Every structure is written in C-alpha cells, then in structure tokens.
Structure 1
C-alpha cells in the first residue's frame, strides 16, 4: 500500500477529536468522514477537520470507502458498533476498554479472526517516552531480575453504569502496562471501596507474576488529575529501579548501591515528548506502519481482552475474598 490511507472516525466526542486530529493532519492519511449520533455535534466536528459528517455507519462505509476505521465511542457503548464493523471485515483501531463483558470480547475477537480484519486497540501509555525507555532498560537487563512492580493512578470520577467503571475503563492501562513491563500476571487479590458514590471507585489489587515477581495496582476515582504525582509507576529489580512520574513527565533510573540517578525529562523544545496526547500519535505511527505492511497490529485487540480478563478476576477476588488465578489464554 503506497497511496494515502483513507480513515474514518466513529465518535464525535472529546477523545474522538484526537482521533480526527491525527488522521486529518498526517501527510499519509485522509480523514474521509466522522460518524456521530448527534447531527449538530457531528457536523461541527466534521467541519473542524474539513471532512464529511455521518450519523449512519453503513452510509459512511458505502460513500467514504475507508481503508481503516478508528472507533472512539462512550466507554460502555463499544460492542454493537464494533461487532457490526468487524463482521463486515472492516479494519479497525478501537479505543480502550475493548468492552465490559468477556463474552462480548470473545465474540469480537472471533468475528475478527473469521473476517481477517486488522484489529488494534489504543493502549497509548506504552508509547510515552518514559515507558519506552523503561522497557528498553528492562529488556537490556539494567534492572536485573524484576522483584516488584507498582502502578498508582488516580483522578476524578468518570461515572458510568458499571459499578466497576474505574477498574475496567481506566485501570486497564495499569494491567496492560504492568504485563508489558513485567510479563504475565499469574494471580490477583483485590480490595475495593464504594463509599463515595456507590460504584467501586477505588481499588487496591495485589498481583503475582509468572516470573516470580509481585506487584500492586492502586487505582482511584476519588482523587484528582490536578494533584502532582497522579500517576506513579515503579519497577524494582535485583540490579536497579525505574520510576515513572505522570506518564510523560519523568523517568528515573537507579542502580543498586549507587546514589547517583539517571533522569530523563523532556527538554525545553521537546513539546512532543511531554504531551500525553502525542503518545496516541506515536501509537498511530506504529499502527499505520503495520497496516501498510500487512502485519499484525503492534497492540492487538486481544490485549484489551486480556486487560478485561484481569479486571474480572479482580472483581471475582473481591467478591469471594480469595486469590484468583489469571492464566494467559492460549
């Protein structure tokens, strides 16, 4: 594929604007349509990016003829549209969470396997510069054998119908990143509280990894994104430690017995690396490279299913008061 890739965006909301921004602005893609539910809102979004508004997915497919569709819908409304598209054999990039129900996730993956569709999910935290550098350091053995990994991430509530919206919609990044850095999670034990507004807005989860390492996830909707240190990731090994502050802010690498640390922070003119939104641009770069070359996506939709499996295991652990095994699906 050497010509420009025709991309349509399904979703006219806030994060959908980031999808539209990227595909309208790249030199190798054409944004050929935006699909939304509201005529007025969709028209405004399409006008913003000089493309065509649609309120019907099938009409968009017929008229715009996209090569790739990027889906960004409200968190608990992903399944029906995604299934419709994947059963039609449409190549997709979808937002997290994949869905809230494991049976629905399995139906989506089975339909994509049957149709042969390219099916990627946006776990964009992986592409933040501190995570890229931390992953490289771990793979190079700078940290030695990993011993424990910690994810702490809290902000304001994104209230949904599910009592486990925080765990499934937001902390899916934590599950994905901890496995990305530390390998498969073997089991989980969870505590949760619904003391503030009825949903399980704060969760604390103990993890074991197949490698023998242990870990923790502390995720909250009872916090604030305005607080410094809203996100903290720590990876400790036998030879050193990596600490990531606020996804894109800072990476600190330390080695055992050495009081001198190595710190990465974006420089004065490096606005791209300090921008959270740019982590999505970085992911899209890899998605399009794989799509052009006919390769599997860099982060397949199956990663969304895996994060959901881990979330459901945490729910089962909390409800039973027991540790729950989380074997990696074959």
Structure 2
C-alpha cells in the first residue's frame, strides 16, 4: 500500500483525491490546502485528514508520495520545501515559470535522489498512445511537419505569458514526444484582448529536419468542437488527433480510405479526459514501486519551460531562436 498526500485542494486537486482515495493499492493519508474550510470539506469527502501545515503533514501522515496541485504560479517554494524534506513527488504542470527556479528544483531533487514526476497526462490519451505507436513503427515514414492547436477560456494570472507557459506546455511536450527535439522557435503573439499575450503562433524547426506550428489561445472556448487538434504528416502517411480523447485517424499517402479510432459504446474510460490522469498514475506507481525513474520526469517540465522562454525571446527580439 502506497501512502499518498496531496498539497492543494483546488479544482484539479479533486482529481488527485479521486484517484488516490479510490485505488485499492493507495491510501490517501492527508490533504493540505490554503483555505481551512475548503480543505476540511475536501478531506471529509475523500475520507482523509486535513492539514494546515506542510511540516505537520509530512511528520504525521508520513506519505511515501506527495502530489502537488497548487495554483500555476505558486509552485516553486512548496515544491522546493518538499524536496528538501525528502519527499517523493508528482507535480502538476507547469513545473514553474522561471528557468532558474526549475534548475534549482531539479538540482535539489538530484541531490536528494527524489522521485520527481510531472503530470503531462495528455501523453496517456488513447489517441496519443496510438499516434506514438504509429510513428515509432514507421507507419508515417519520415516526418515532415507537425501541427498543434489548442484554445479555450482564459486562466488569468500574474504572468503575461500564462497561456504559453501553463497551458501550451502540453503542446511543447506532445510535439517533442511525437516528433523529437525542437531545434528552433519563431514567435508571434497578441495581447489585444486583456493585456496578456493570450494568443500565440509559433513556427518550429525540429532537429530531424521536420517543421511545425503551434497555435495556442486563451481567446477561444473549450465548448467549441475541435478545440484541440494535432496533425503529423510524414512521407508515407498522416495522423490526426481531435480533442485529445475524441478521435485518432491514420491515413496512408495516396489512399482514399482511413483508419479511425473512436471509443466504443462501453469504452467510457477511453473517452474521458480525466482518465488520462488515471492512466499516468498507473504507470507512475508501477515505476515508483520498482525503484525506476518516473515515466515523465520533471525534466520534461523544464524542457517545456525552456521552449516557452525561447518563444518569448523570439517575439521580443523579432528573430528565430535556436534551442539546444
């Protein structure tokens, strides 16, 4: 039985609580939140103990694993404190907003030997699992271009680049997961709606010679069909993913028929976006118990942040920026 504590009692923190309270092989031993009443209600709903203090949580609950799901721009100090206390971690994206802070976290985790995972759960959606398999098997041939589009309502924060860093980090991660390392970035951004750079358009060059685009917006709506779309073209075929969990389509060059995956009538789990997190947790716990590295290390969060900062530099200088 793996003992799990949660730091964060907000909206997505409910998914953490649902998963770790509901599994037969984990025990939810405590929840720490910033608002006592809200934290107490969340803990009561999932049969665990609320905590007002991080030190007390660690001392009394003695978790094997701590998950962190705090507001996007408030990750650094609690995460560093947890690492220095010797906790093993699953953190929500983004890792942080500042590259120096990311490096401090990773260095501290390396020194402590911390199990340090980040929740890029999109990788575990059924269409993306199928997309990765098709690419790895060579079904598309040599990749030529990749496209990511993702837009919804604004999650306003202190940073003018919140959309780029906290939401489009999924795009950076998925594009590199499917297409390999991005070598350079060229950016356009607009702040026409509320003063932050709420919509961005990036041109990408991959190390393997492919090119790509990333369009991300906080000026759209998650209610729109096709709010997320991914397309990967190769010399022998093309694949598309619609709305993360909705549809996977594979086409062969020159053929007018296609292979399409959509979840069947009784396959509710595969059409459920929240279940992508359950799938990631299953893989994560398997690695954790075997003493292996996490399936998605926090370094992936640092990499997405590096690409975001390259995009910011490109926009501010008007030049293409190489990314090592």
> If the TM-score is normalised by the length of the shorter chain, which range does it land in?
over 0.9
C-alpha contact (below 8 Å) 1:152/1:230 kept by paired residues? yes
Count of equivalent residues: 324
Task: Note if 1:147 corresponds to 2:113.
Answer: no
5+ long unaligned stretches in structure 1 = none
Q: After TM superposition, list the pairs within 5 Å mapping 1:83-98 onto structure 2.
A: 83-98=80-95
Deviation at 1:88, TM superposition (A): 1.4
Distance 2:87 2:58 in 1: 9
Match of 2:144, SS? strand
Among 63, 68, 72, the alignment partner of 1:66 is: 63
C-alpha contact (below 8 Å) 1:97/1:172 kept by paired residues? yes
Deviations 1:8-32 (A, max 9, x none): 0000000000001000000100000
Deviations 1:268-313 (A, max 9, x none): 0100000000000000001000000000000000000000000000
1:227 aligns with 224
Task: Note if 1:110 corresponds to 2:107.
Answer: yes
Among 220, 230, 236, the alignment partner of 1:239 is: 236
Q: After TM superposition, list the pairs within 5 Å mapping 1:114-263 onto structure 2.
A: 114-263=111-260
Deviation at 1:6, TM superposition (A): 0.1
Q: RMSD of the alignment, in Å?
A: 0.3
C-alpha contact (below 8 Å) 1:186/1:326 kept by paired residues? yes
Among 297, 313, 317, the alignment partner of 1:316 is: 313
Distance 2:212 2:239 in 1: 14
Among 285, 288, 291, the alignment partner of 1:288 is: 285
Deviations 1:70-94 (A, max 9, x none): 0000000000000000111210000
Task: Note if 1:49 corresponds to 2:56.
Answer: no
Distance 2:316 2:260 in 1: 41
Task: Note if 1:301 corresponds to 2:263.
Answer: no
Distance 2:52 2:225 in 1: 40
Deviations 1:187-239 (A, max 9, x none): 00000000000000000000000000000000000000000000000000000
Deviation at 1:41, TM superposition (A): 0.3
Deviation at 1:55, TM superposition (A): 1.2
Among 7, 17, 31, the alignment partner of 2:4 is: 7
Distance 2:202 2:170 in 1: 14
Deviations 1:83-125 (A, max 9, x none): 0001112100000000000000000000000000100000000
5+ long unaligned stretches in structure 2 = none
Match of 2:12, SS? helix
- If the length of structure 2 is used for normalisation, what is the TM-score? 1.00
